[in-house]
Chains A and B, each alone.
Chain A
Amino acid sequence: MSAVQKPRQDRAERAVRGMTGIPEGSKFLGFIPVDWRYDLTERFPGLRRVLRSRWTSFLLQLITASVFAVALVAGFIGTPVGNANLLVVLVWIFWWSALMLIMVPFFSRIWCALCPLPSAGEWLQRRAFVKKRQGKGLTLGKRWPAALRNMWPVNLIFLGMALFSGILTTRTTVTAWLLLGMVLGAIVISLIFERRTFCRYLCPVGGFLGLYSNMATMEIRHNVYSVCRDHKHKECVVGTNEAYACPWMEAPTTMARNTYCGFCFECFRTCSKDNMSVRLRPPGTDLLVNKNRGLDEAWKAFIMLGAAAIYAAVMMGPWGTLKDWANMTSVGGYLVYASSLALTVMVVVPAVWGAFVWLGRKLSGADVPFVRLFTNLSYSLVPIGMLAWIAFSFAIILPNWAYIPRVISDPFGWGWDLFGTAGVEWNPVGMRVMPILQVAALLFGLAFSIDVAWKIARQTLGDDRKASLATIPPVIFLAGVTGLFTWLLVG
């Protein structure tokens, strides 16, 4: 081995295997090496310079915040017809599809680098827009209560919102109030609590962004492990005069998963050794990280999987009654709908999945505690869950893309034509390709989920024979789920 290869070797070993419990030589689907990495910041030094600049984050946030402000105004004073209103189209058609089809799968939590919701709170808290200001910020700087430092608050807040999704995605003022409420909530939280407490522990979007960014093909990680190890004054953790300690309360030096990294790039600015990197990687590597797994995140996976099926049924199904229920046409119907949704995602999905995991544990005769196997294996629901959302999102953007150029020219629905695109015909594209895309997405999700389940079982049980037996029932569950989505989306 030559001296040149040495740091690369060190990097791969420490970053992927040594710290995360991923067995050496693992390959996804039998041929994609789990420890493959392509370091973008090393390859393109210009990128590092851009990320190191404090202006990058500010300008990105400024642009989205300006667009968001106009959209919010449209939500309040523009037409109440959702499809003709900038806010609803921007959020529920454009943002949603961009998030699920591009941002999360390829760029992890890049959205959080652009998100306008916490900007006001953060600027106030720091008493600064760009350059770091010395001295105390405008905040009590309290730490979030230890008992709540998990995904449960987000799970409940998300569920609360999910119950109203029919109303939310179709009523301009409801969307406007919700988003305004989130901005105000983020401000209040940032005045009381330290850093991005709102984003990490309370944002309902952040929960599934975090979970599904485990599938992303991009990551921010430390580069050469020994550099971090030997750097006694960990600037990325405590901050410097010029840049802030990780706003997301992560330790960039040991961070092993994308879940709570908001792509804010502060660690590129604090690290005097330039030892942070943006890297490409195979999707799903974080799911194999045998560290920090928990029931809170497992439940996030159940909620998202269940919600995908229910939304597909309500929004793309042929059942008028279901639509009436979700639209709160009658109180009784709505209560039936809301309680069955809550029950399904919080109880039914985990219970059925639990039964299959339990069966697998029995079959294998494994002696690890049930809860541990259950928690760990639940991460194998992430690929199929995410790909189901992707399949669902094709059916949002392809038929409805035309609303986007329309509202750009006529944001308030008042008959303007700013850019000459107000008259674009509503005209679904790719309808004949869509089912093929959806089927491909679902099958890829299933194959990936099966593979992750097997790898996690082997990691948890430490024995090929036991792992094989323990994975059989979960595979049946995963196949069943994929069958269900096939029926809902193309059947």
Chain B
Amino acid sequence: MRHILSILVENEAGALSRVAGLFSARGYNIESLTVAPTEDATMSRMTIVTTGSDEIVEQITKQLNKLVDVVKVVDLSEGRHIERELMLVKVRAAGKDREEMKRTADIFRGRIIDVTDKSYTIELTGTTDKLDAFLEALDKGAILETVRTGVSGIGRGEWVLKA
């Protein structure tokens, strides 16, 4: 099962390696990991997408909580939540394909943010699924480069993740 873990960590040098090291040392999967500072400058927020049985994810959560730099861990996928990922794709867009490429981007609410006469760079946000679907909709040969941020997630409603 896929889980989205939201983690508040102290903004200390090494906090990221402690978390990443834990996953590699114990053989847990990381599908994606994002991290950036929060409104409180002393803390960063990480979102980790991982897969594993309930037992494994329970262990991951416990092990994360044990790290001294970790302030809080929540499994977002246990409740209602919103997840988003940002993707930048550079695609071949020349001649007759150019119009078609723009149309596909529009369907997925992608924005063209850079152009040359042979290429477009498209910005797209959404769930991992949507981003995957967009890539599938493109002709494989047209994709020149893809960059994805990995998932960021937040709980729905008034609930907030606080230290």
| Chains A and B form a bound pair | no
